[in-house]
Chain A
Amino acid sequence: LAKTTQPISMDSYEGQEVNITCSHNNIATNDYITWYQQFPSQGPRFIIQGYKTKVTNEVASLFIPADRKSSTLSLPRVSLSDTAVYYCLVGGSSGNTPLVFGKGTRLSVIA
């Protein structure tokens, strides 16, 4: 299973852009990279998914370099409501291999 490494925590002020980087050195050729957001007492929520280069949706952008050994989730102009834990997952390419969550990054947005 592809293992991921993320910072344990990050702090940011409201209105700033936040970039959370995830390392996944043993990513398989057909693996996808997916990010989830989790608020306290709730289940994780899908944010964005990508395979290579850049993906953007209404919530975030995902940057993936050519070697795909890392990825960066970018949250533009964060607000207090973006305070949450963010998980990076890698997988989905092979047979029955399930996705495994790491410990995630706890983002605290400060007014």
Chain B
Amino acid sequence: NAGVTQTPKFQVLKTGQSMTLQCAQDMNHEYMSWYRQDPGMGLRLIHYSVGAGITDQGEVPNGYNVSRSTTEDFPLRLLSAAPSQTSVYFCASSPDRGRVGYTFGSGTRLTVV
């Protein structure tokens, strides 16, 4: 049981490049979400999904796209990377969107130069 797996762990992008951050969970959780955490700050919600085929925007969705074709996977796409997207990105999953605790991945540290 691997929990929530995020890849890659580290990434450096040039401004304007695109990439996909991968998130996979093997716990059959319906609810998945993406957060970003800037230095010394709390976590801000980017996008979330309550099940396969259903996604919605969080607090800071601009510049990011998501899709949820399967229960297990919830990739986050950066369309055209900007230095302001330099951050640590966390993926989380839960069997229920709040009544049971979230399980977080170990994060992807992204630097945009």
| A interface, CB within 8 angstroms of B | 31-32, 34, 36, 41-46, 49, 85, 87, 89, 91-93, 96-104
Contact = CB atoms under 8 A, between A and B. Distances in A.
Contact of A34 (B58, B88, B98): B98
B51 to A, nearest CB: 10
B103 interface: yes
By secondary structure, the A interface counts as: loop
Given A103-B41, A104-B42, 10 more contacts: A43-B90, A44-B43, A44-B90, A45-B104, A46-B103, A92-B96, A92-B98, A99-B33, A100-B45, A101-B43
Contacts, number: 70
B102 interface: yes
Interface residues of B, number: 28
Nearest to B48: A98
Contacts of B43: 44, 87, 101
B75 interface: no
B42 A103 contact: yes
Would you list the 8 A-B pairs with minimal beta carbon distance, nearest first?
A92-B98, A43-B104, A46-B101, A101-B43, A103-B42, A91-B98, A98-B48, A92-B99
A18 to B, nearest CB: 19
A42 B50 contact: no
A93 B59 CA distance: 19
B111 to A, nearest CB: 14
16 contacts: A31-B98, A32-B98, A32-B99, A41-B88, A42-B106, A43-B4, A43-B92, A43-B104, A44-B102, A87-B43, A91-B97, A92-B99, A96-B48, A96-B56, A99-B45, A100-B58
